[in-house]
Structure 1
Amino acid sequence: MDRDIDFGYTKDHARKGANTELPAIQCWENQYKRDYVIKIVLPEFTSVCPKTGLPDFGVITIEYIPNELCLELKSLKYYLLEYRDMGIFMENIANKILDDVVKACKPKVARITGEFTPRGGLKSVIIAEHGKWPSK
């Protein structure tokens, strides 16, 4: 097997979508000072492969321990819908969502999990984290 196969992916493909400006995620004031976990699941996430233009499907899970602010769900829905026609790799999706969630609400910790529908027999699960989760 030839290990030097050129699949035609470029640096432009790799970064595509990662720096795209998306709608702001709004927040509201957290009413509790104790630590608790908020888990938000989007079971019908869609985006587009930046090279082939084919759709990608998956489940995005956002988990975080709020600090002063909590994510407002309506603005989060509009934010996530922007990925529908965006060419972006799965790895960039999880990391971009994490960056934008942290920027919006500055949680104590956060975890974004992207569990994507298998393609060609391979299933990708991407986990991006901010901060250190407390031990149980």
Structure 2
Amino acid sequence: MTTEPHLQLGQASALPQTPEEAQLDRVPNPHPDTDYLARFTVPEFTSLCPVTGQPDFAILVIDYVPGPWLVESKSLKLYMHSFRNHGAFHEDCTVAIGKRLAELLEPRYLRIGGYWYPRGGIPIDVFWQTGELPKNLWLPDQGVAPYRAR
């Protein structure tokens, strides 16, 4: 199996300061003729409120059915980290991540769920998807309970 040139995997990589400068890497799907689901969960995602500069926290769940490419997980971790000092609303962060992954990977199906912790008493959950889920593929629940006030 060959990979794309200049992978960050296996070498020292600086933390990207912005999502725009973060390098997302992909590798060939070893089973391009098989429909299967890959899931990444980011339980400690952080970004900044673009108005107040205060931190926002979320659990992100990314499900995709690979086409020709898989996302390389080290580059995904670095990409997620790049949002730590990035000011954007919840909707923008969630949808931008989904769109960037879809453009890079050309998946058969991709969905992202952003489960944002409440600020100001209001939680915001953001969902985006592209493509069609193959008919015979099991798509599990994302496993994040809806917010319940205490």
With normalisation by structure 2, the TM-score equals 0.74
CA distance in 2, matches of 1:78, 1:135: 33
Q: Which blocks of at least 5 consecutive residues in structure 1 are unaligned?
A: 1-19
User: What SS does structure 1 have at the residue aligned with 2:46?
Assistant: strand
In structure 1, the partner of 2:20 is 21
Query: Where does structure 1 differ by over 3 angstroms across 4 or more consecutive aligned residues?
Result: none
Aligned AA (1:21): E
Q: Specify which structure has the higher proportion of helix.
A: 1
- Map 1:1-136 → 2, pairs under 5 A: 21-32=20-31, 33-135=33-135
State the percentage of identical aligned residues: 34
RMSD (CA atoms): 1.5
In structure 1, the partner of 2:143 is none
Q: Which blocks of at least 5 consecutive residues in structure 2 are unaligned?
A: 1-18, 137-150
With normalisation by structure 1, the TM-score equals 0.82
User: What SS does structure 2 have at the residue aligned with 1:64?
Assistant: strand
Aligned AA (2:111): R
1:62-83 per-position Cα deviation (integer Å, ceiling 9, x unaligned): 1100001101000001111010
Alpha-carbon distance, 1:103 to partner: 1.6
Alpha-carbon distance, 1:123 to partner: 1.3
Aligned AA (2:20): E
Aligned residues: 118
Aligned AA (2:72): E
Aligned AA (2:27): W
